[in-house]
Amino acid sequence: MTEPAYVAVDWGTSSFRLWLIGKDGGVLAERRSGEGMTTAARTGFAEVLNSHLSAIDAPAGLSVLICGMAGAKQGWVEAGYLDTPAALLDIPAAAVRIPGVEADIRILPGLAQRDPAAPDVIRGEETQLLGAAAELGDGDHLVCMPGTHSKWVRLSGGRVEGFSTFMTGELFDAIAKNTILSHSIAEAGPVSGGSDAFRAAVSRMVKKPALATSQLFSVRAGALIAGLMPDDAKARLSGTLIGLEIAGALSLVAEGTPVALVVSGGLGTLYGEALAAAGLAPVVIDADTAVRNGLAAGAKALWSL
> 1: pLDDT confidence band, cut at 50, 70 and 90?
low
Where residue 207 sits, what CATH number does that domain have?
A: 3.30.420.310
Residue 166 has pLDDT above 70, yes or no: yes
* The domain boundary residue, chosen from 123, 152, 187: 123
pLDDT of residue 134: 86
Domain that holds residue 223: 166-285
Answer yes or no: is 178 within a domain.
Answer: yes
Under 8 Å between Cβ of 280 and 205: no
28-53 pLDDT, tens digit per residue, is 999 999 999 999 999 999 999 999 99
CATH code for position 42: 3.30.420.300
CB neighbour list of residue 125: distance below 8 Å, 6 or more residues apart: 145, 151, 153
Residue ending a domain, choose from 89, 123, 157? 123
> Across the chain, where does the E strand assignment appear?
4-11, 16-22, 27-33, 64-68, 81-83, 86-87, 96-97, 105-107, 110-113, 120-122, 140-145, 150-156, 159-166, 259-263, 283-286
Q: Are residues 92 and 174 in the same domain?
A: no
Cis peptide upstream of residue 99 (ω within 30 degrees of 0): no
Distance in angstroms (rounded) separating the CA atoms of residues 114 and 176: 32
Provide, for the chain, the percentages of residues in helix, strand and coil under a 3-state DSSP scheme, each rounded to the nearest 5.
45, 25, 30
In a domain, 235, yes or no: yes
Same domain? 183 vs 272: yes
* pLDDT for the residue 304: 87
Q: Phi and psi dihedrals of 115, rounded to 5?
A: -65, 120
Residue 292 lies in a domain: no
The pLDDT, as a whole number, for residue 173 is 97
Asked, for residue 303, whether it belongs to a domain, the answer is no
Q: Decide if 37 contacts 69 (C-beta within 8 A).
A: yes
Flag whether pLDDT at 85 surpasses 80: yes
In a domain, 299, yes or no: no
Both 175 and 268 in one domain: the answer is yes
Nearest to 195 by CA among 225, 248, 227, 238: 238
Separation between Cα atoms, residue 48 and residue 45, nearest integer Å = 5
Number of domains forming the structure of the chain = 2
Which among 72, 107, 123 is the end of a domain? Answer: 123
Which pLDDT belongs to residue 163? 98
| Residue 134 covered by a domain | no
- 133 close to 144: Cβ distance less than 8 angstroms: no
Q: How confident is the prediction for the chain on average, in pLDDT?
A: 96
Q: Is residue 248 exposed (0-12), middle (13-18) or buried (19+ Cβ within 10 Å)?
A: middle
111-159 pLDDT, tens digit each: 999 999 999 999 999 999 999 998 998 899 999 999 999 999 999 999 9
In this structure, what are the phi and psi dihedrals at residue 31, rounded to the nearest 5 degrees?
Answer: -135, 140
As a whole number of angstroms, the distance between CA 14 and CA 244 comes to 27
pLDDT score recorded for residue 305: 78
Cβ partners under 8 Å of residue 233, min gap 6: 181, 184, 185, 188, 197, 219, 222, 223
Nearest Cα to 280, choosing from 132, 141, 156, 162? 141
Residue 168 has pLDDT above 90, yes or no: yes
Would you give the distance in Å from CA 119 to the centre of its chain?
Answer: 18
Mean pLDDT of 270-292: 97
Residue 205's identity, in one-letter code, is M
Contacts of 78 (CB under 8 A, 6+ apart): 71, 72, 96
> Residue range 279-297: average pLDDT?
96
pLDDT at 75 over 80: yes
CA distance readout (Å), 87 to 6, 110, 165, 240: 24, 12, 19, 34
